[in-house]
Chain A
Amino acid sequence: MNTKEQKAIVCRDLTKRFGDFVAVDHISFEVERGEIFGFLGANGAGKTTAMRMLCGLSHPTSGQAAVAGFDVYRQQESIKRSIGYMSQKFSLYENLTVLENIEFFGGVYGLSDAKLNRRSERLITTLGLGQEARKMVGSLPLGWKQKLAFSVAVIHDPAIVFLDEPTGGVDPVTRRQFWDLIYEAAGRGITIFVTTHYMDEAEYCNRISIMVDGRVEALDTPGNLKHRFAADSMDEVFYQLARGAKRAAD
């Protein structure tokens, strides 16, 4: 238990079956506190399912996992209080203003009014949204929405934040700015668990794992992986691994 508490996430043979289909097949890995951990894989490789199990959205079929030191089977409520989550779909309310969204999610996480005020002020200044604070979120450009969604996902200072393809459909410049926010959060000690399709983003991570057909096929720092696969870029590493996949991407 002691070693578990030092790790942000510990997985042992975590498995999820849907009938005959093994979506996640005995994956094992550990994520250190404060680490930016990239979780890569082709569509249908099982990334989202694995992540949903860690967040408590889905029950594992077998195996063990602890998130922030809490067991995924027995301590879901404690896990929920220690994590933040940003889903693939844009997950703020479009017909609420920026401030109302912040207030709502802060309220859902039970922040006190004083804390909430301080944090929402800081958040709005950091994002440079002073002018837009009272505008409907629906009227903001996508890049800003994503940055706002991320900031809202960490407004309660969680131990770990799960990001499910957070930068889908966003231009490279905005993506870069988005990653600045991630670094800033990691600097505050928040562990980042992020899935992505963009290999340039993979390079920003401290360590990455690559899933193929429900299994973790590789796990290391980007540098070591490139060295091991004698590749110039993460793109190449990913391609070499994913080529062996039997599952059709959806």
Chain B
Amino acid sequence: MKQLLVFIRKEFYHVFRDRRTLLILFGLPTAQILLFGYALSSEVRNINLGVVDFAKDPASQQIVSRVQSSRYFNLKEAIPTYDAMQRAFRENRIRAALIIPAGFNGDLRHTNRAQVQVIADASDPNAATTITNYLTGIIGDYQRELNATAALPYRIGTETRMLYNPDLNGSLNFIPGVLALILMIVCTTLTSVSVVREKELGTMEVLLVSPFRPILVLIAKATPYLVLSLLDFTLILLLAVFVLDVPVRGSLLLLFAESALFIVCCLSLGLMISNVTASQQVAMLASMMGMMLPTLLFTGFLFPLENMPLPLQWISRVVPARWYYLIVKAIMLKGLGFAAVWKETAVLVGMALALLGVSLRNFKIRLA
């Protein structure tokens, strides 16, 4: 145990004396968070839409069938009640809902005025705006068609509600994504480089000849970066809350626990990279490029996963950041508890165990 502590202390010395490491650790996240673009709009398709039709009359059915034929929406099964709709939102089964009040047809025919309500999950504000625009457009088309043959103009009002993020704060959406991205890059890069550095310098050989157990070498290497990454996480969170006005609605403790889990995933990835690379440059490239691209592409915070061809959607499932992103969004922006994210958590636990297992096994093989 004392040996391990001696080793961990040494790792901290390395970190605090290396300007490059410190820059990656604290400069990179700060810059990323502050620079990351706000306006990232893109077309949204295959939106899961829930329809709550209290009217069930000719007019409401006409609207529903128009929505159905639109290429933007996947109509989920009819949702009977308000509560059921809210549950569907929480469980991420729908991104938006269209509510048609009872007596819709009657209102329209007799008073020439009727109301529908559109609710969108605005934790991704760009998508939410796009979605409500589509729906308003479809309803507007229907209204125009009715008016073409009517003596008195019909008017259908659309009331929209942005769920979770009423102000459409753009930072809300990218903070969880950038969190995932930064933790991924910082953890994998620093761990892999710090192990490979010892290989390159020849000190690894000395360590392997010593009675110090190889598995402890890995633990000692990973521990400081676990601590520092949590520090990094805190830094990003503080920036997000106090500079970008992003709220943390759920449990802070849960958020930290989930982040620690994700960090363990990334550290294991870093150890894996260090097992197959021999120079610091290669390790750095592999961790930065190899991790940054999949994280950017397949996490869903830049490019909606719904739009991707199926094979790419499958690939996205093996990217740990994708699951972490969902978890952070749920806890931070929607204020949901563990019950809402246990599946994603289970996936991350599985990934962490698998990656850790592989990197430990390969490390032993190198000794033979």
Contact = CB atoms under 8 A, between A and B. Distances in A.
B364 to A, nearest CB: 12
Contact of A85 (B2, B18, B209, B368): B209
Nearest to A138: B17
A107 B6 contact: yes
Interface string B1-42: 011001100100110011000000000000000000000000
B209 A56 contact: yes
B209 A96 contact: no
A24 interface: no
Interface stretch (A86-94, A118-126, A180-188): A86-94
B65 interface: no
Interface in B204-229: 205-212
B13 A91 contact: no
A100 B10 contact: yes
Given A91-B203, A92-B203, A100-B13, A107 B2 contact: yes
A81 B3 CA distance: 14
A72 interface: no
Interface in A136-169: 153, 162
A32 interface: no
A83 interface: yes
A100 B7 CA distance: 11
Interface of B: 2-3, 6-7, 10, 13-14, 17-18, 201-203, 205-212, 367-368
Contact of B202 (A55, A90, A105): A90
Nearest to B9: A104
Contacts of B205: 57, 85, 87, 89, 91
A55 B209 contact: yes
Given A57-B205, A57-B208, A107-B3, 9 more contacts: A80-B210, A85-B209, A87-B205, A89-B201, A95-B14, A95-B17, A100-B10, A107-B7, A110-B211
Contacts of B368: 58-59
**Interface on chain B toward A: helix, strand, loop, or mixed SS?**
helix
5 contacts: A57-B367, A59-B368, A94-B201, A108-B3, A109-B210
Interface residues of A, number: 31
Nearest to B206: A91
A92 B10 CA distance: 12
B6 to A, nearest CB: 3
B211 A85 contact: no
Interface of A: 55-59, 77, 80-81, 83, 85-96, 100, 103-105, 107-110, 153, 162
Contact of A57 (B14, B17, B209): B209
Nearest to A104: B10
A110 B3 contact: yes
Contacts of A91: 201-203, 205-206
B211 A109 contact: yes
- 9 closest Cβ pairs, A-B complex: A89-B202, A107-B6, A85-B209, A80-B211, A91-B206, A95-B17, A87-B202, A81-B211, A87-B205
A58 B367 CA distance: 7
Contact of A104 (B6, B201, B211, B367): B6
B13 A96 contact: yes
A95 B209 CA distance: 22
Nearest to A136: B17
A48 B69 CA distance: 73
Nearest to B210: A108
Contacts of A93: 10, 14, 201, 203
A55 B209 CA distance: 6
Contacts of B17: 95
A59 B365 CA distance: 11
Nearest to A83: B209
B213 to A, nearest CB: 9
